[in-house]
Amino acid sequence: MADRRKQKSTKSRYTEDRGMPGAFEGETVTRRRMMTGTAHAAGGIAAAAFILPSVGFALGPVFEEVEQSWEPVGPPEDFPDDTYVPKVITLVDGIGETGKTTVYIRTYNPDIDTEPRDEYNAWIALSTRCMHLGCPVRFVAASERFICPCHGGVYGITGEVTGGPPVRPLDRFYTRERNGQVEVGPRYSVNSELERFSPRDPGQPLDGIGPYVYPSRPTIRKLPE
């Protein structure tokens, strides 16, 4: 038994000494093992070439700093309380028209608005990004509805979902008055009760366990205090 253990511990590293078929003198790795290892390495490199860009694309937005300054859009008298006025604001500086978006704005109306009025919602500013897949919506004054032409999403006068596949109401923007101008600030998301949350992407519900399933990005801008 001791001799057998000694033989195992002193086993040669050369394939010829180990009696492997087709072994060459001085060879330590069989051609089969080398070919197998090479094939595995090539397969790993090929898989990484496909997977790493996808992972980077998916995780990139998580670490993207989201900042938006306050932007004046007009004097308070420009905005009625029974319909919306479209205004174009800049979401991302330095990229031209691509960084702009349309926001629908009206004055807070206690007859139709159910959320408590505070210093950040004296004017209701709704995003035109559908909460299904992000397609642009438009306000139809005759029906007092926001309509998404892509997949049939329908929102009511306050941005609540009234039909189609959207998972939550339209996102909103904080508003305030400074120097005689209404200003539009950071975007935020709301659930069906219009409770405020840090911005989420389309397709991410915020009712029930939604805020836990779809937490805000770690680098997202904090909500105003």
| Residue boundaries of the structural domains of the chain | 1-63, 68-213
- Beta-carbon contacts of residue 10 (< 8 Å; ≥ 6 apart): none
pLDDT at residue 36 is higher than 80: no
pLDDT band at 39 (very low <50, low <70, confident <90, very high): confident
Write the DSSP assignment of 35-72 as a string of letters.
Answer: HHHHHHHHHHHHHHHHHHHHHHHHHGGGG-------EE
Whether 151 and 135 have beta carbons less than 8 Å apart is answered as yes
Q: Which long-range contacts (CB under 8 A, 24 or more apart) does 64-69 make?
A: 64/217, 64/219, 65/219, 65/221, 66/199, 66/217, 66/219, 66/220, 66/221, 67/221, 68/185, 68/186, 68/187, 68/221, 69/185
Nearest to 137 by CA among 101, 109, 190: 101
Nearest to 101 by CA among 113, 91, 112: 91
| pLDDT tens-digit map of 175-209 | 999 999 999 999 999 999 999 999 999 999 999 99
Instruction: Dig out the tokens for 27 from the structure.
Output: 């060879």
Is the CATH number of domain 68-213 2.102.10.10?
yes
Q: What average pLDDT does range 46-53 have in this prediction?
A: 69
- Beta-carbon contacts of residue 45 (< 8 Å; ≥ 6 apart): none
Q: What average pLDDT does range 118-134 have in this prediction?
A: 96
pLDDT band at 138 (very low <50, low <70, confident <90, very high): very high
> Tell me, what's the pLDDT at 56?
52
CA distance 133 to 136: 9
> Tell me, what's the pLDDT at 169?
97
pLDDT at residue 32 is higher than 70: no
CA distance 88 to 215: 29
